[in-house]
């Protein structure tokens, strides 16, 4: 097994962490196996390169000022904005003792249920927990989905057995499956239902016009035309006396009422 050697240095607990980071160092701590924790610092560039090529679960041999320590990366803290490493936790391991670690799952291949049938691949379980010797820790577990059709899945129990590695995750847990994509159907509005934004009232100009026509019709109905036809404007009816003139022919004039004489 290839040794991944990483040089670390001891640091003072009260050391200025910002100053260390400005020098390209990542502050950290080495602990575990019943020994006293040791505060350390590691160069960020070589450490980052090692993680990129070997993965987070890689077994590392720490060169601590001439003393070798076998360790695993337990945790890495990163800056929220810049994503650079700001702290690292190393856990001591003994090569003859089994340890529990989480192994990432990598999906490989292309499912025909997705490529041909238009399904959707769901990756539900991203890592599984195992127990093994430090020398048997797999960097990752590959899951091939090249035979998955719609409605099919791969469970933890379907993983190929690995020599010296015991699976601790629930065997019934689904790792990946292919499902029919959910399509939301548009609901048609009910018959007679108003469209969105419609008030149900007619435009004001139409309502006003109808009202005027209605009022005109009511006025015409309320005033019946005079008998014998209506006269033209400014023209007196035939046979009608002029203003202040005699009464119609054949019609006796009414006697004027006499005023009562005043008593002497």
Q: Domain extents for the chain?
A: 4-93, 101-179
Three-state DSSP string of the chain = CCCEEEEEEECCCCCCHHHHHHCCEEEEEEEECCEEEEEEEEEHHHHHHHHHHHCCCCCEEEEECCEEEEEEEEEEEECCCCCCEEEEEEEECCCCCCEEEEEEEEEECCCHHHHCCCCEEEECCCEEEEEECHHHCCCCEEEECCCCCCCCEEEHHHCCCCCCCEECCCCCCEEEEEECCCCCCCCCCCCCCCCCCCCCCCCHHHHHHHHHHHHHHHHHHHCCCCCCCCCCCCCCCCCCCCCCCCCCCCCCCCCCCCCCCCCC
- Residue 234 pLDDT > 70, yes or no? no
pLDDT of res. 192 = 57
Confidence of residue 241 (pLDDT cuts 50, 70, 90): very low
- Residue 31 pLDDT > 90, yes or no? yes
The mean per-residue pLDDT over the stretch 188-200 comes to: 58
**In CATH terms, is domain 4-93 a member of 3.40.1390.10?**
no
Q: Please identify, in words, the CATH class of the domain defined by 101-179.
A: mainly beta
pLDDT tens-digit series, residues 14-25: 778 888 898 999
pLDDT of res. 92 = 93
Least confident of 141-150, 200-209, 236-245: 236-245
Confidence of residue 157 (pLDDT cuts 50, 70, 90): very high
């Amino acid at each position: 097994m290839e040794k991944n050697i990483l040089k670390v240095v001891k640091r003072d607990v009260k050391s200025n962490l910002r100053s260390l980071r400005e020098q390209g160092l990542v502050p950290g701590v080495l602990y575990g196996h019943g020994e006293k924790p040791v505060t350390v610092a590691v160069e960020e560039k070589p450490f980052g390169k090692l993680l990129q090529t070997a993965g987070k679960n890689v077994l590392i041999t720490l060169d601590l000022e001439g003393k070798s320590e076998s360790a695993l990366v337990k945790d890495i803290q990163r800056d929220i904005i810049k994503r650079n490493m700001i702290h690292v936790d190393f856990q001591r391991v003994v090569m003859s003792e089994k340890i529990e670690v989480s192994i990432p799952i990598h999906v490989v291949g292309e499912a025909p249920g997705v490529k041909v049938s238009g399904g959707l691949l769901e990756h539900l379980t991203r890592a599984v927990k195992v127990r093994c010797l430090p020398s048997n820790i797999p960097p990752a577990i590959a899951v091939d989905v090249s035979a998955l059709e719609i409605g099919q899945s791969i469970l933890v129990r379907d993983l190929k057995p690995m020599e010296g590695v015991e699976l601790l995750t629930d065997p019934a847990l689904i790792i990946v499956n292919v499902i029919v994509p959910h399509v939301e159907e548009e609901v048609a509005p009910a018959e007679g239902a108003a469209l969105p934004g419609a008030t149900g009232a007619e435009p004001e100009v139409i309502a006003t016009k109808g009202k005027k026509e209605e009022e005109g019709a009511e006025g015409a109905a309320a005033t019946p035309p005079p008998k014998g036809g209506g006269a033209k404007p400014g023209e007196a009816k035939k046979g009608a006396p002029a203003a202040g003139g005699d009464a119609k022919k054949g019609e006796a004039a009414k006697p004027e009422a006499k005023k009562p004489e005043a008593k002497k």
